[in-house]
Structure 1
């Protein structure tokens, strides 16, 4: 059947009509105010509310509805005298307790009176024994419902639901492996992990080796280093509250299982299997070798970031090259790629440029490229800095016979796949830290700092390797960067620490697994002024929990700027639309309250900037490849600290 029309929705009917997403069962709802009728849609038959309304109520075919979708959506979601009220009714279960939440789509601009009417109609037509709460779909709705008495409109916020969700599919997929459950980090450190292990922990450490799968038994963010690596490695990853209880109950620790993560399921699936007979073979990803652009280690000068472009990555590393390209984007009149994302038809919409015009505060006939450039010029900054080339790193290494001898030993051990790799890496790092930088390199560095960053009190020293941000090898978090660096002596020490991170045991192992030879790896360094800001975080220009969602970007925010890099606290998490506009709070993390209205406005600006930069840095002409941006902000200015591809 198409749905249940004009009747009470029993739990039996709900189960027959419902679909599943993110661990929740849901039914689409349409209230027809003209006829006084409520419709509960069959999810298997109707993907969109609009198509149901067209076919089942208005008698309009799918082709015509799709052709006129913008016209109908204006009526469905924005008209103050609208006939139809559209929403989603979700069922949430916690042990023996059940509740419904009712929400509209994110772009809906219902007033408080309309929300109250919609809630009352649904409340009258669902099982009275199950509590029903209205869930605001965006910050605008949160402001609207705040004016209504709770007894008239019971409500629950998105972040309140997320913080109690028992299952979140962070990276869907399946894997076969040995389940290893570690309740403490000490227990984890005392064990050796293999590539076929599926690790269960409350918080998986950022230095995790390449594995078959990850289960987080406590809440985390999809933008943590661990989860970014899981995405880059294409391994299943999920939040499953109560995972240890499940493992204990089924006696799964140490057992071989098939592990599945799907947003359509209510939780992770763990099925016992026999131990594979081909364990001695290497995993399939060993055959997926990563290739590097040939690096240039002959002499190059230390340069101001503004003088480097995207195609200089083989001299200065990808991080420096991307920052240099950003300087170019912010200061030139030529980057026509900025509008690329909005220029591509994204069904059911043939043209997103009118949406961009509205987001930029312009009309459709205005010069949108000029408006986009103006936004970047007025609101976005890249902290001043210099880039140290690969040749400086190479010159330092070649200045020490002891370092050269240690590198030779490590290369031989890697060729033989010997067990001594870790102690050889530790010794090589020790030599790099204690070896004096030659005077001519120190003089060049000092001169570059004086000429480009005189007057700066506090610096950030960042890694910029050629072996990162690659297709199949993100390297998120495996190289070192340092904040709060002040004196000339500390700058040199930090540069050597960055150089040493190229040969840490973990980075060497991960590159070896990806087929990247130590001979081909070089480390550049970026030294920038450390800017003051009110808040900061990380943004990816996609929705990592729904890869088909082209509207939204996902933003992590740390109200205390130091938490951005330290990862010491759980960040606030937001989704912001880059089509219709508007945002919603997914999680408050460890914060006690949400950000201010001015901060929310700045996050909306950040989301638009992210889409523009995604287009400029796109490797092709679909402009679909998301980017990962580390940023800081005041209420007026956005600072872009890093930009790199985000694997999906």
Structure 2
């Protein structure tokens, strides 16, 4: 698969519009194979494995498996189409020319095509047929339990009609002879259907596959390419015993995984899960190996020994090292100053609309007082972003409902006041012990767990300062809802270099349950009717929820992540984001996480969408379930968005995976348009987020940062944008 290149220094002999967008081959530059030096730029046939190897490059796209080579078909004379394979390793004057990288420039040089770039793109990708030109790739796949497959693929946005698709595939296949490899057409966009022509393709020995089919047969899936040194722990029985010097092999990914040096799981992971996003942020290796286990021949010899672990695009490496090297590598990662996270005093509770009364930029800056989660909810509701239904001209007004929840933020000062409240001496003492022992660096995992439990018990038993709980209760009563959520909005959360995703807890409140002075609050693990497993407070009174979220600032994993990031534990504080329950108006039919780039590649332009049916979370999925992974490929707003499902959702552990997308195409399009609006507004409000014009931020997959959004879809079709944060991983 391949994508758009948003900007290109145009060769002087080629006249290309200044705002050119050219399709390019995915994959990093590689040294060409020696045999390719004797080959020309264009080849009429691929008739040996050696030739394919010579003209192709390692795949580095959505499926980093196998190799890629480009193909071009000139169909201006439909009775005599010309097929040409591109030598991606062709060298001219000591370097690879652009004609070996881009379909358009290849066509100009080899076939003297007369169109300018915009016309070429329109005819090649955005015209169903008849096709004047066809541009695609050959992608080899190594699949489990079957011979290698050579996939013929078109760009995800290509709207090619079935008959033109069939003709092009047969024309390309007719010039390929690779013994031992099965030929297939691989659908990369849901609009690339084959219902009418599948029998014609089958008659020619060409299988029709989806990327979900491909990924379902791939044994190894790299999720974050990096290297680490640590002790290899295969299927550890107690995750609480894991350390930052451990490389863990797991069956299922636990919801609360400690900080570890690297991860390898047997079960498929959600690409947009908190664990994978944290792996990307920390740059620690993470991959899936479907046959991983204690008896795996590449893993078993190294169990409980120090190893070097490397996740590459094509394979992983486990090799021996020493305990001294492991200790030195951890010390090297931690050899940086401890950072204090400041915050500003603020006495007032404020609604998100009050937080957003000034400019969008000033609204984001309110994170210094309320935390990013609360401030970003104010930003989302700002009239320059999504606005409110009552504000004419805003996206919410156009849809007729508020796209982001009402509610209010509780500032950091209120957390500090609770900790400092004289009757809470036991809380302060337990915090001092935990922080002091953690700073000394000699805590064993079980000791940390016990100290964390003592701190959290002290928070749950703490007394509120005078009038604090009553003031919050009055604000809650003003919302007029039966159920609400109290969410974390810590100062060590959603900040540059540390997003804190999934470290803290949110708690539900039933507003009719009254707080009783001196009541005992407890935290329990519970599954709701939709199968969502999470921590809940009992009773579900407001006071218990507030104290539960405050206590979650000191979750074991949160302490470990802050320690690994060299954040001063004494400088952290918890703000709160209070919102009505998301399903107050209608049931939740889907959860979505959108990252505003295509993860794991710079060559496909668009967004990554993880979508799960019902109220099961994408970020912390229940064991045995996984979300649908869809790539929304687009460049300009005037071009159609294509949706490529690379894996269908498995909503429940006991049920089967879906065979159709969770959301309809029009819902996906509306969702992407909504997120593009948010990202452009964020770009305008946050200096330094993107170095170029904000009009281009949605179509630049090489941007230094992106956004990570969580969105719920209700049964009545409404979207609820529940949060937005910056994300620095790739």
- CA offset at residue 282 of structure 1? 4.6
- CA offset at residue 383 of structure 1? 1.4
Match of 2:526 in 1: none
Question: Are 2:666 and 1:601 equivalent residues in the alignment?
Answer: yes
- Within 5 A, what are the aligned runs for 1:8-47? 9-21=47-59, 22-33=64-75, 34=77, 35-45=80-90, 46-47=100-101
Rate the CA distance shift 1:484–1:274 in 2: closer, same or farther, 3 A: same
Q: What is the rounded CA distance, in whole Å, between the counterparts of 2:56 and 2:112 in structure 1?
A: 23
Q: Which has the higher helix share?
A: 1
Contact 1:91-1:98 within 8 A present in 2 as well: yes
Match of 1:626 in 2: 706
Counterpart pick for 2:45 among 7, 15, 18: 7
Question: Are 2:514 and 1:462 equivalent residues in the alignment?
Answer: no
Question: Are 2:665 and 1:614 equivalent residues in the alignment?
Answer: no
Rate the CA distance shift 1:105–1:282 in 2: closer, same or farther, 3 A: closer
| Aligned partner of residue 524 in structure 1, secondary structure | strand
Q: What is the rounded CA distance, in whole Å, between the counterparts of 1:403 and 1:527 in structure 2?
A: 24
Rate the CA distance shift 1:422–1:501 in 2: closer, same or farther, 3 A: same
| Aligned partner of residue 642 in structure 1, secondary structure | strand
- CA offset at residue 284 of structure 1? 2.6
Question: Are 2:554 and 1:503 equivalent residues in the alignment?
Answer: yes
Q: What is the rounded CA distance, in whole Å, between the counterparts of 1:15 and 1:87 in structure 2?
A: 17
| Aligned partner of residue 503 in structure 1, secondary structure | coil
- Alignment gaps of 5+ in structure 1: 335-369
- CA offset at residue 330 of structure 1? 5.5
Question: Are 2:601 and 1:546 equivalent residues in the alignment?
Answer: yes
- CA offset at residue 498 of structure 1? 0.5
Counterpart pick for 2:427 among 400, 403, 427: 403
| Aligned partner of residue 140 in structure 1, secondary structure | coil
Contact 2:494-2:500 within 8 A present in 1 as well: yes
Rate the CA distance shift 1:278–1:427 in 2: closer, same or farther, 3 A: closer
529-538 vs 277-286, which moves further: 277-286
TM-score normalized by the length of structure 2 = 0.75
Contact 1:213-1:236 within 8 A present in 2 as well: yes
Question: Are 2:158 and 1:83 equivalent residues in the alignment?
Answer: no
- Within 5 A, what are the aligned runs for 1:367-446? 381-399=403-421, 400-419=424-443, 420-446=447-473
Q: What is the rounded CA distance, in whole Å, between the counterparts of 2:438 and 2:620 in structure 1?
A: 32
Contact 1:289-1:514 within 8 A present in 2 as well: no
Question: Are 2:649 and 1:589 equivalent residues in the alignment?
Answer: yes
Question: Are 2:567 and 1:516 equivalent residues in the alignment?
Answer: yes
Match of 2:629 in 1: 573
- CA offset at residue 481 of structure 1? 1.1
226-235 vs 51-60, which moves further: 51-60
Could you list the per-position Cα deviations for residues 213-257 of structure 1 after superposition, in whole angstroms to 9, with x for gaps in the alignment? 222222112111110110111112222233435545771223433
Rate the CA distance shift 1:537–1:373 in 2: closer, same or farther, 3 A: closer
Match of 1:286 in 2: 334
| Aligned partner of residue 464 in structure 1, secondary structure | strand
Match of 1:341 in 2: none
Match of 1:239 in 2: 288
- CA offset at residue 601 of structure 1? 1.7
Contact 1:205-1:226 within 8 A present in 2 as well: no
Match of 2:578 in 1: 527
- CA offset at residue 485 of structure 1? 4.5
Contact 2:386-2:394 within 8 A present in 1 as well: no
Q: What is the rounded CA distance, in whole Å, between the counterparts of 2:336 and 2:399 in structure 1?
A: 41
Could you list the per-position Cα deviations for residues 391-440 of structure 1 after superposition, in whole angstroms to 9, with x for gaps in the alignment? 22222222212212222333332343353544332111101112343451
614-623 vs 36-45, which moves further: 614-623
505-514 vs 522-531, which moves further: 505-514
Contact 2:632-2:643 within 8 A present in 1 as well: yes
- CA offset at residue 108 of structure 1? 1.0
Rate the CA distance shift 1:8–1:391 in 2: closer, same or farther, 3 A: closer
193-202 vs 387-396, which moves further: 193-202
Contact 1:180-1:254 within 8 A present in 2 as well: yes
Counterpart pick for 2:349 among 302, 309, 334: 302
| Aligned partner of residue 97 in structure 1, secondary structure | coil
Q: What is the rounded CA distance, in whole Å, between the counterparts of 2:216 and 2:281 in structure 1?
A: 25
- CA offset at residue 497 of structure 1? 0.8
- Within 5 A, what are the aligned runs for 1:10-409? 10-21=48-59, 22-33=64-75, 34=77, 35-45=80-90, 46-58=100-112, 68-79=116-127, 80-93=129-142, 94-95=144-145, 97-127=147-177, 130-141=181-192, 144-150=193-199, 152=201, 154-182=207-235, 187-189=237-239, 192-244=241-293, 246-248=296-298, 251-263=301-313, 265=314, 267-277=315-325, 279=327, 282-289=330-337, 291=339, 294-297=342-345, 299-308=346-355, 309-329=363-383, 381-399=403-421, 400-409=424-433
Q: What is the rounded CA distance, in whole Å, between the counterparts of 2:41 and 2:300 in structure 1?
A: 39
Rate the CA distance shift 1:246–1:119 in 2: closer, same or farther, 3 A: same
96-105 vs 370-379, which moves further: 370-379
Contact 2:372-2:495 within 8 A present in 1 as well: no
| Aligned partner of residue 328 in structure 1, secondary structure | coil
- CA offset at residue 378 of structure 1? 5.4
Contact 1:305-1:386 within 8 A present in 2 as well: yes
- CA offset at residue 27 of structure 1? 2.3
Match of 2:719 in 1: 638
Rate the CA distance shift 1:582–1:376 in 2: closer, same or farther, 3 A: farther
Contact 1:300-1:315 within 8 A present in 2 as well: no
- CA offset at residue 109 of structure 1? 1.4
382-391 vs 207-216, which moves further: 207-216
394-403 vs 373-382, which moves further: 373-382
- CA offset at residue 331 of structure 1? 6.8
- CA offset at residue 193 of structure 1? 3.1
Q: What is the rounded CA distance, in whole Å, between the counterparts of 1:375 and 1:198 in structure 2?
A: 50
| Aligned partner of residue 270 in structure 2, secondary structure | coil
- CA offset at residue 77 of structure 1? 1.8
Q: What is the rounded CA distance, in whole Å, between the counterparts of 1:405 and 1:7 in structure 2?
A: 76
Q: What is the rounded CA distance, in whole Å, between the counterparts of 2:245 and 2:87 in structure 1?
A: 41
Could you list the per-position Cα deviations for residues 99-124 of structure 1 after superposition, in whole angstroms to 9, with x for gaps in the alignment? 22221011211111101101211232
Contact 1:290-1:473 within 8 A present in 2 as well: no
- CA offset at residue 96 of structure 1? 5.2
Contact 2:232-2:246 within 8 A present in 1 as well: yes
- Within 5 A, what are the aligned runs for 1:471-486? 471-483=496-508, 485-486=510-511
Q: What is the rounded CA distance, in whole Å, between the counterparts of 1:259 and 1:281 in structure 2?
A: 12
Could you list the per-position Cα deviations for residues 460-497 of structure 1 after superposition, in whole angstroms to 9, with x for gaps in the alignment? 22111001112222211111112475544422211111
- Alignment gaps of 5+ in structure 2: 1-38, 91-99, 356-362, 516-539, 651-656, 692-696, 698-702
Contact 2:281-2:497 within 8 A present in 1 as well: yes
Contact 1:162-1:587 within 8 A present in 2 as well: yes
Computed over aligned residues only, the root mean square deviation of the Cα atoms, in angstroms, reads 2.9
Contact 1:24-1:90 within 8 A present in 2 as well: yes
Q: What is the rounded CA distance, in whole Å, between the counterparts of 1:235 and 1:281 in structure 2?
A: 12
Rate the CA distance shift 1:559–1:273 in 2: closer, same or farther, 3 A: same
Contact 1:174-1:260 within 8 A present in 2 as well: yes
Contact 2:136-2:153 within 8 A present in 1 as well: yes
| Aligned partner of residue 207 in structure 1, secondary structure | coil
- CA offset at residue 206 of structure 1? 3.5
- CA offset at residue 576 of structure 1? 0.5
